[in-house]
Structure formats: structure tokens, C-alpha cells
A and B are shown apart, each in its own frame.
Chain A
Amino acid sequence: MGLNSVDIQPSILALLGQQSLLIAKEIRAEFINLTEKVTNKIRSSAINEKKDQLIEIRKINKLIWSEMQGETVCFIDGGVGETTILTKTPLIIRSGIFKVITGEKNLEERERFEIYPILVGDIESGLKNRSDYSSVLRILIELLSAYKVATSEEYNDTNILMLHGPISYRLSAYSDHYISKNDLSYILGLEGIQYQNDSSEAKQNNPFIKKFDLFCKKCELNSNNEGFCQQTENINFICLVWFILSEIFNKVRSNANFKLVGVVERSSSTDYIRDHLFLNLLQNDSSILSDFKIQASTDHGKNVDKLIEKGNYHDALILSLILNEGEYTKPEYAYKRYTDIRREEFAGMSDILFDTIPIKYVYLKIKHNTFPIRVEFPALLDDNSIEFIINHVYKYSRLLPTYAFPVGLDIVDKYAKVPNWLMAAFRKLIILKLGEEAASQDSMEEIQKLISNVLIFQQRDAFYRPEA
């Protein structure tokens, strides 16, 4: 790799050029060369197989389809349907499952599609005024879909469960979010997930909630916190994620034929270069810092942070210059996933999460001219299983060489996408409702008041931007 490979990767070259405009003036002119110097150094250490290898690069064992027959693969993807009235508003959250058995000739047996939509308006609990509220609901419904695949009879032949996105997001950001048992019962009651109604009795008897309650009782944190989780009707989002992933990981532990994998595209993470690549590099040779006009510190961690900051680097960008087509990095733990959870009640939770649902990841390059994708899997898998997973992700992604992402995830994304016409229809309904509300007022003054209330709802809306 190196500059030659930059030359043949116009998209990456363009990105580097763009990056160079954003970084400190003092290294701007040399930015591309400096980046190349860094990546060449790392790459050459791997090729030369020196003892002081900065990176361990592995190669895909190319599979052929005829040897991958009779495998049941489930792809899951979630999404948010938004509309714009005055501001962007999430209206529908959905998750889709695409199950396919390779080589099966009977199409009805071969493929199965399911979709679970939630109307955001139907959910009563939670931090609705938070901008990440829709993300919380999306992650939850994706995980519930994965839970269904891992635990239900109809999916018990699944060999690979592949999620569009990480297996777990960085949970510290979501520690305040919660959902009521009523709402959870409603979501579970949606066709296909668990039960058909959300009556109180059904809620009490809902096996998922019963199981969760049992999980809470056994939880170390619960005993420390005097039943913090159980004393409320609301379930903390982190606890819910932990419970669901625990159940799925149990399946992974108990069934060697069941593989869980998450695939992340357009990752902006810096974990890999921060914790491994640049750390190794600077420990080996800190002279690079002076090239970047960085004053070296005795703390390598700080030096790494400075280098990342100075170059505005992220994992995918650096690895796109290091990895060749069909290569991937040595699996590493996703340490940051469960750290920095600041709520007092959750002290010690990071370690527990890391013990029970540990995750590893690799970066895998599908095509020479695309960014590598991040592939995540339970850390408890052995090397053969990891190789199995990576090879399959590569094979699925090679069917879409331009997109360079597993085709099954693209299929389920398209299948479960909330269509534009539906969102347009929702928008019309909302406007109609507002109109009806205005028309039902007793006096013109009240109508005007309602309309002005609606209109001033977002004072900085483009409607009110002064004309030139």
C-alpha cells in the first residue's frame, strides 16, 4: 500500500485532500505525504514479518458458493421513518428480518421476510424530547428482532445472524433512557414478536418481561442498589440491552452452529488506531510526531490523541491505506462499548457487561477502492468461528462490489424501508389534523392564536428567514 494505492483510490485521495483543508496549516502542504509515511511504515512492518510488527494482517480464505449450501442466514436492519412538518420528526421505527437458506429450491422455504413497525406516537414513555430518542427505539426493536431469531422455534435453524450495525452501541450515551413495561409490552405484542395484546394481565404473563424480571433479580447491581431496577415500572435501556444481548450470547455459547455478527459501514470510530495502531507505532518510533509538528509527551496515549487530532484521522481512513482487498485486522476487543457509564447506580456495570457480553471486532477490506467495514462478533468465539464469520461477510459483500457491504443487509434494508409515500401521507394527515383543530375553534381570534402557536413553534425555521 502507500501513495501508489492512494493514487488508485480516487475516493480516498479526495477525502485526504478534503481533510488537508481542515487540519493545521503547518502540516497542510505535506499532509498526504505524511499520512502515506505513517501508513507505509505500518504496512511494511506487517509485510516484512518483523518481530516488531505494528499490525497483524490476516487474509480471507476465499469461499465458493457451492461449498456454502444449506446455510440459514438471517439479516436484520432497523430504520427510522421521518417527516418534516416544521422540523424533522420521527414517526415510524421499524426493523426487518430477511431469512434465507442457501441452495434451497423451494422459494417459500428458501426465504422469509418479516417487518416490525412501531408508530412513535404509540409509545408513551421515555425521554421523548431527547434527539436520540428515535435511535433508542430503533436499537431496541432491532435487538428484539435479533432476540426473536435467537430464541424462537421458527428461526432455530439459523447459522448466521447478521445485524446491520454494531452488536452493541456505546452504551454510556444511553444510560438515562428508559421504557415503561407497558410500552415494552405493547412492542412485544406487535405481530410476530410475542403476544397479541397489551392488557395488564398479558403484560404480567409476558414471558419476555417475566424473564427480564428474573434477570433483574439475579443482577449484582440490583442487590447493590436495593432493587433499583425492579422498584420502578420503567426499565432502563442499558439493562434491557444487556438482558437481550445476554440471551443472544447464551445461544451463541450453547450452539456452536449459531453465529452472531454485526457489520458497520462508514464507521468513524478511532478505537483501533487509538488503542492499537498508533500506540504501537509511537511506542516503536516517536519521530513521526515531529513530522506532524507535535510536541512529544512522555505519555504515549496523549501522543496518540494528538496525532489523531492533528490528522483528523479515523480507523477506516487509515486502514483503507493499509489493508489490501480481502485482508482484515487481527480481532480486538471493543473495550469502549461498555465504559464510561456514569450513573451512580451502574457503578461496576462496565466490568459485568464486559464479562457477560464481550465483543470483538476486525476491519475487513472488501474492495481496493472502498473503506474497510467493521465486523463485530462475540468475543467468546474461537478462531475458526471468527474466520468462518469474516469469510462469509466477505463473500456476501463481494456480491455488491461497489457498495462493498453484505448484500443480505442491503436486501433487508430495502425491504423494511418506510416508503416515502407513506411518510408523505402521514404528513398530510398531521396537517389535516392541525387544520381541523384550527377550524373547530370558536372565534377567529382563537384560530389565529392556534395558527400562530404552530407557526412560532420553531422560531428559527426557514419560513422566517429574512429575504435579502
Chain B
Amino acid sequence: MTDTAKKEEYKKVGDILGIVTPFEFYMAIKPGATSLQDLVCLDRYSEDGKKERIWTKITNIELFNPLLPKEAVHEVSSAGDKILETVLSLSKEMITAKVQIIGAEILDEDDERKGELIALNYPPNPGTPVYRPNSIDVQNILLGKIEDHRKLHIGSLRSRPEVDVFIDANPVVNRHLAILAMTGAGKSWTCRKILQGLIEKDYPIIIFDPHGDYAGLKEIYKEKVTIYMPTIHYDQENKDSSLSLIESFAYDFNEAQLDALDKAYDYITNDKYYSKKKSKAKEFCSENDINFNPGKNIWGIANVFESLIDAKELKLKDVNLTDFYPTDLVNANISTLRACMRRCRNAGSSINKMIEYNKRSYEKFKAELLPKEITNIIGKGKITIIGLAGYDITIQASMVSVILSSLFMERIKGNIKLPYLCIIEEAHNFAPGEGIESSGQQSSLMTLRRIATEGRKFGVGLILISQRPSRLNQTVASQCNSFIVMRTVNPADQAYVKNIVETLGKEDAALLQELQIGEALISGQIVRFPLLAKIKPPISRGLHEEEDLIKYILDI
């Protein structure tokens, strides 16, 4: 806050008029005395004689000139004249502000509630003057009794740039936060700004990053940040998720094919059960010039199908193929085996391309493969980024589901000792409200729903970020106790936001499409009362930060 700001006196902005309720009132204001979302206040003595300051927020400003008839303005406009050149009056504008009451601050030194904001049970009187307080008092009322170690600086008040806005870190990490806005409004920027504060406090964080927006944290926080590239682990433990991934890529498996796939998966991963059969099969294939390479990956599964098809086609009467392969697989129709082989190869090809893209996205950040043992990726001062860039949404959803649920289970079991915060970018893809497209999305929704409802008990927090709020699952979103809402233009998204954010008034909602980049309506437990802030830029950059491409081309 500047010295000039500190010296400011309270300035009168207007007087209350009309019908007043304990929740809102209207006031006549002087031109230019205040602006939308400005914090203004008035003092009064309560019925028990205690001095209190009523804090309020300007939610709307209406300007009306009762002496300028509309009809006359139409006449002047249609004739192409200038109003100033006529005898019409322009000077008697009436400015009325709609004001929302935030609460009353007890000012009595002796009162133990001093500094608290309490709800009004009786409205202020019409005719009461309303003032624009000085910046120090505004800063104090914003902060309340929030302890220093919980403060997260994220920006300044839009109406008063000299007043810093801090949010309470505890509800961010424990009570879930949703950051909602259209693309390009500054969601990731805001999230990175919040993370900046949490990183300074060494809070354990895991970020699911579908586009590489957070890779830039590595450049700033170096060793604190580890970027992991997720892998598909083909083993018995991860059987369901791995099969689900293959299914996502190889569409239209029928029941018989799914059954065959299941058996083939077991065949390559369950060494204990199938080692004898596999060594016999290897010998048999070698003797009959059949390729046999059952590696623990999608290609290995395809190879199993291929070798069995080849073996079957030899039609050797004295050979019992059940000695080499699972009985159910041997009994399967050859066309089923062929379909499975083809689908696995297609899926393998797609997955390979994605893995390649994923590697390229993160290679300059020295990304590591996600270890099988994931309890260690959470720790004090550790920022874990799961780099999902390059993968299809369905794969990403499966990965998010697998990793999040594993971590949550480990936390419940006590194998992860510390609480941690999960950042879910593009949350509407992982917790969709409707139109679930894959079993991966179904899984990630279930996982996120569980964490949203039970996470607080285990110290697992969520920050959900979405550019299509209306596609976000309402159960998951409604578990968020705080919201940061930025520019939103889509009517469906606006309606959803109005519905889900209880503290968002009609006038606040109307602001959504007017907000500039980086401006945000903040509400919920992270602030004392809803406010409009300008988010300060974070020190980190995203992988795909907006660039001036025209300039780039011109400069070549």
C-alpha cells in the first residue's frame, strides 16, 4: 500500500434512500464518487449503544436523467443534431447505487467481538451518509483475523488497486476450490499465483496438467518440482485400469473379445500361473517357426493372439494347445482372436504416438517416468506434476483416475503421511456432468467425487479448474467451499455459475461477461466476503502462454 493511500481520509460518497433492508439498500451518489464493486461503509450505534461500522459493496450503479425525455433524444438523433445545441437539459443526472450489506464490524475496544463481521438484524436508516473508507481500513476488513502463515497474496482490489487481496490458504488446501472461467481469462495464471504462495509454504502439491500449463514451474522452483510422465503398467495389480485403457482405444470389443483380451492379459502378466505354459509355448512356437513374443505391453498381448492363431492354423492333431495357452483362449473362435489382435495393434499404435508426443512435451524439463511406487511422489516442499500433454482425453481420464485413487488409498492407509493438494486442470473432462464418453471418464468422476466428499477428512484438497463450468459435475463442484470466477461469456456457463456459487448475486453474475483478463470474483471461505480482485501475474510461465504470433512471423 502506498503512503498516499495511507493518508486518505474517509470521503462521503452518498446518502441512503428508499426502502432499506438488513441485506441491501440504495443510495444517491455524487458523480464519480465510487465505482462498481467498491467497498463503502457507514457508522451507527446499535441498539445496545455499541458503535459499529456497516461494511457494504456497490453492486450496481444506475444513471438516469429525469429531465431528458427519451422521445426528444430520438428526435435529435434521427435528425443528426447535437443535444448540446438544443434546449434539452443534460445536467440533472441522478446516480443511484445499489449496495449490498456485507456485515457490521464492532468498533468498541471493550467488545470481545471487535473486528468481527456480524450479520445485521436491523437495517440502517434512510438518509444515513455513506463513506468511502481509507485503504488501511479496507485492507484490515479484508484480512480480518487471518493469521500471517495462512495468508496467500493473489492480487489487489479492482476498485482500489492500492489494497492487496489475500486469501486464506487453509480452506484452499482443505475445503476445495473451483476456478471457473472461459478460455484465456486467466484461470491457470490465477492457479499458478495461488500455487506460488503454497509452494513458498512447502505444501505438498500434485498437479494434473493436460496441456503443459504448469511445466514452467520447473524453471522457477527447480528441484522442488518433478514432472512425471505417466506410464501404463501391465501387471496384475493394474489389470483393470490397463484393460480399460486398451478398451478406450480399441472400440467395439464384444463380450467374447473382451473375455479373450482378459485371458491374454493374464497370460502375459501372471508369471506365477502361466510360466510353465509360456515356456512350453516358446518351445512349441520355435519348433514350428511361429513368432512368440509375449512382452508385458500391448504389443505383447497382440503377439499372444497372433501366435495362437498361427498355432491353430497348423491344425496339428497330436498337439493340445491348452498345454501352451489358457484353455478359454484356445477355445475361442479364430475370428475373435483375429479381431483382438487387430484391435490391440491399433491401440498400441495410437498409444505409442501419444507417448511420443508426451515425451516431447516434457523432455526439456527433464521429466521422469512415473514410478510404480507412487507414495514417494508426495512430500513436504514437493511439487509433483503429472504431465498428461499428448494423451487423448480418455487416456488422461484413466490416468487421473488411477493415480488419484492410488494416492488417496495410500493416504487413507497412512502410507502417505502428509496432507496434499490436487490441482485438476480441465476438470470438466475428469468430472463431467453429463455425456460421459469413456469408462476412463466414469472412473475419474467416481474418484474425484469421492475425494470431493471425503477428502477433507484425510487432508486431501482439490483445486478444480474448468473453462466449461456447465459441463462440470454438479456434485463435485458443489463440494467446493470457495470459488474464483473469471470472465465467462457462454450463457450456459453463466447460468451454471450463478446456480452453483451461492454468494454470487444477480449483479455480480451480470459482471461475469464484463470482466477483463485477470479479473476475478472471489467468494467462499477463502475470503471474508465476496470481492472483485485483479490477480497479479505469477512468476512462472505456462508451456503454451499466449504469444504474439503475428510478431513472431514478422520477425523471421
Contacts and interface: CB of A to CB of B under 8 A. Distances in A.
A403 B72 CA distance: 10
B86 interface: yes
Contact of B89 (A64, A100, A398, A403): A100
A111 B84 contact: no
A396 B67 contact: no
B67 A414 contact: yes
Contacts of B81: 64-66
A73 B89 CA distance: 12
Contacts of B82: 65
A396 B71 contact: no
A110 B87 CA distance: 10
Interface residues of A, number: 31
A61 interface: no
Interface in B52-87: 66-67, 69, 71-72, 75-76, 81-82, 84-87
Contacts of B69: 399-400, 407, 410
Residue among B75, B85, B90 with max Cβ neighbours from chain A (10 Å): B85
A102 B75 contact: no
Nearest to A98: B89
B92 interface: yes
A402 interface: yes
Given A399-B72, A399-B76, A400-B72, A111 B89 contact: yes
B335 interface: no
Given A398-B75, A400-B71, A401-B71, A66 B85 contact: yes
Contacts of B85: 65-66, 68-69, 102-103
A107 interface: yes
A329 B203 CA distance: 90
A50 B92 CA distance: 52
Nearest to B66: A414
A105 B84 contact: yes
Contacts of A457: none
A411 interface: yes
Contacts of A69: 85
A68 B67 CA distance: 21
Given A398-B75, A399-B76, A400-B69, A103 B89 contact: no
Contacts of A403: 71
A320 B373 CA distance: 97
A15 B430 CA distance: 73
B88 interface: yes
Interface string A361-375: 000000000000000
A113 interface: yes
Contact of B91 (A66, A107, A414): A107
A66 B75 CA distance: 15
Contacts of B86: 65, 102, 399, 407
Contacts of A174: none
B67 A110 contact: no
Residue among B66, B72, B87 with max Cβ neighbours from chain A (10 Å): B87
Given A65-B82, A113-B92, 4 more contacts: A65-B85, A407-B88, A411-B67, A411-B87
30 contacts: A64-B81, A65-B81, A65-B85, A66-B85, A68-B85, A69-B85, A73-B87, A100-B87, A100-B89, A102-B85, A102-B86, A105-B84, A110-B84, A110-B90, A110-B91, A111-B90, A113-B91, A113-B92, A396-B87, A398-B75, A399-B71, A400-B71, A403-B71, A407-B69, A407-B86, A411-B88, A411-B89, A414-B66, A414-B67, A415-B89
